[in-house]
Amino acid sequence: MSSVERNEAPTKKTSGGFSIDFKALGPFLALVGLFVLGTAINDAFLSGGNLSNIFTRAAFIGIIAVGATFVITAGGIDLSVGSMAAFISGAMIVVMNGLVETLGAGVETVLLGVVLSVILGIGAGAINGLVSTKGKIEAFIVTLGTMGIYRSLVTYMADGGTLSLDFDIRGVYRPIYYGDILGIPIPVLVFFAVAVAGYVLLNMTPFGRKCFAIGSNEQVARYSAIHVDRIKTLTYVIQGLCVSIATIIYVPRLGSASSSTGVLWELEAIAAVIIGGTMLKGGYGRIWGTVVGAIMLTTIGNILNLTDAISNYLNGAVQGLIIIVAVFLQRGDWRRKKSK
């Protein structure tokens, strides 16, 4: 009997090895690729100044994205982070400016601003988490709502205009963004510390394991005696805390807040998470991937600045393309594993 060979389509089963390695290393390889490209385009790309610039800018979205990694890994989403950052910046500026009269433009005033930021971040995160878990409303809807609320609160505080930080406080506060330790900019150090803490929390603790479990299958988590609502709420609190840390670094850089502060940052943060290999539907998250994702997004903008080949105005288009390609690659891998 002749055997039918015309429709041979052997389904490949992952036999370990290459594809998995590629999946884990994919974002790193892509980043290396970008750096090679950047160097080829302009020698100035690898200069200390430029690199420091890239990492400092990446720190900001990166810190927020570390928080988003927790939320997304546990199967949630937080669309409110950009507005939250704007609101926290505005509140910090208003309060610090107000404190100048009583406390003077000193370190105490800045510290109180920082404390306020942390409280607001944690509080805003807790609201997102509690409303979606206790109210049993989709996180997408809840954070879409709070996104509008925080945004209009900052507009209201600024009375439609711009809130500017008191000039003297700016002087005191400035080193948080512009300072460095051993030549490494403080934002980069903070970013690194947040990433390490995030990595440890997500990968080495019961809390992190529970995030994976909930994102992977909430029902299984519930039947495994996990306090699903509590863990999910905590991921939003971590997200809020990360937003507050990012804002603390950001305020001295711009020294102002307005209704246009932080617009679309939520999408950049989510993009960094997804490029890094975290599954948008939850159940799988990777902090280092997120870090690389954030650096990649900033690097793209930086390279476009250094070249005339593509207009800098197309930055968003290139980023968008990279996000889609990253997810496409992820899904291809996923499907291959599933098919059997």
Partner 1 sequence: MTDAAVHAVDPDQEGRVRLSGRQICKSFGSAQVLFDVSIDLHAGEVHALLGENGAGKSTLVKILSGYHQPTSGELILDQAPVSFVDSEVGEGHGVILIHQELNLAEQLTVEENIFLGREIKRGWFLDKATMRAQAQELLDQLQCDVDPRARIRDLAVSDRQMVEIAKALSKKADILILDEPTAVLTGREVEILFDQIRRLREQGVAILYISHKLDEIKAIADRVTVLRDGRHITTETVAELEKDDMARLMVGRDIKQMFPDRVPDHSAEIVLSVRDVCVDGQVRDASFDLRRGEVLGFAGIVGAGRTALMEAIIGLRERSSGRIERNGAPVKINSLQDAKKCGIAYLTKDRKGSGLLLNMDMRPNLTLLALEKFGRVFIDRKAEEAALETAIEAFDIRAADRKSKVGDFSGGNQQKLLLAKVMETDPDIVIIDEPTRGIDIGTKSEIYHFIGDLTDRGKSVILLSSEMPEMLGLSDRIAVMAGGRITGILMGDGRNEHEIMRHATGISGKQGASVHE
Binding residues for partner 1 (CB under 8 A): 1-16, 200, 204-206, 209-210, 212-213, 216-217, 219-227, 283-284, 337-338, 340
Task: Provide the minimum distance between the beta carbon of 158 and partner 1 in the complex, in angstroms, as a whole number.
Answer: 43
C-alpha–C-alpha distance, residues 322 and 158, integer Å: 36
Smallest distance, Å, CB 135 to partner 1? 19
204 exposure class (CB count in 10 Å sphere: 0-12, 13-18, 19+): exposed
Bridge partners for 256 per DSSP: 164
Find residue 181's DSSP bridge partners: 184
- The Cα 278–Cα 320 span in angstroms is 17
For partner 1, which is the closer residue by CB, 210 or 286?
Answer: 210
Q: Which is nearer to partner 1, 181 or 225 (CB)?
A: 225
Q: Judge whether 65 and 294 are in contact, CB under 8 Å.
A: yes
Q: Cβ of 136: how many Cβ atoms within 10 Å? A: 8
CB closer to partner 1, 50 vs 216: 216
Residue 195 main-chain phi, psi, to 5 deg: -65, -45
Task: Give me the least distance between CB of 37 and partner 1, in Å please.
Answer: 34
Cβ-in-10-Å burial (0-12, 13-18, 19+) of 29 comes to exposed
Query: Residue 212 CB, nearest distance to partner 1 (Å)?
Result: 7
**Least CB distance to partner 1 at residue 194 (A):** 19
Q: How far is the CB of 70 from partner 1 (least distance, A)?
A: 16
C-alpha 243/C-alpha 213 separation (Å) is 25
Shortest separation between residue 205's beta carbon and partner 1, angstroms = 6
Residue among 24 and 200 whose Cβ is closer to partner 1: 200
Alpha carbons 260 and 152: distance in angstroms, whole number: 10
- Residue with Cβ nearer partner 1 (311 or 339): 339
> In the complex with partner 1, which residue's Cβ is closer, 225 or 309?
225
Task: Tell me how far apart the alpha carbons of residues 61 and 165 are, in angstroms, rounded to a whole number.
Answer: 22
Q: How far is CA 222 from the centre of its chain?
A: 28
**Surface-to-core class of residue 41, CB atoms within 10 Å of its CB (0-12 exposed, 13-18 middle, 19+ buried):** middle
Residue closer to partner 1 by CB (options 9, 309) is 9
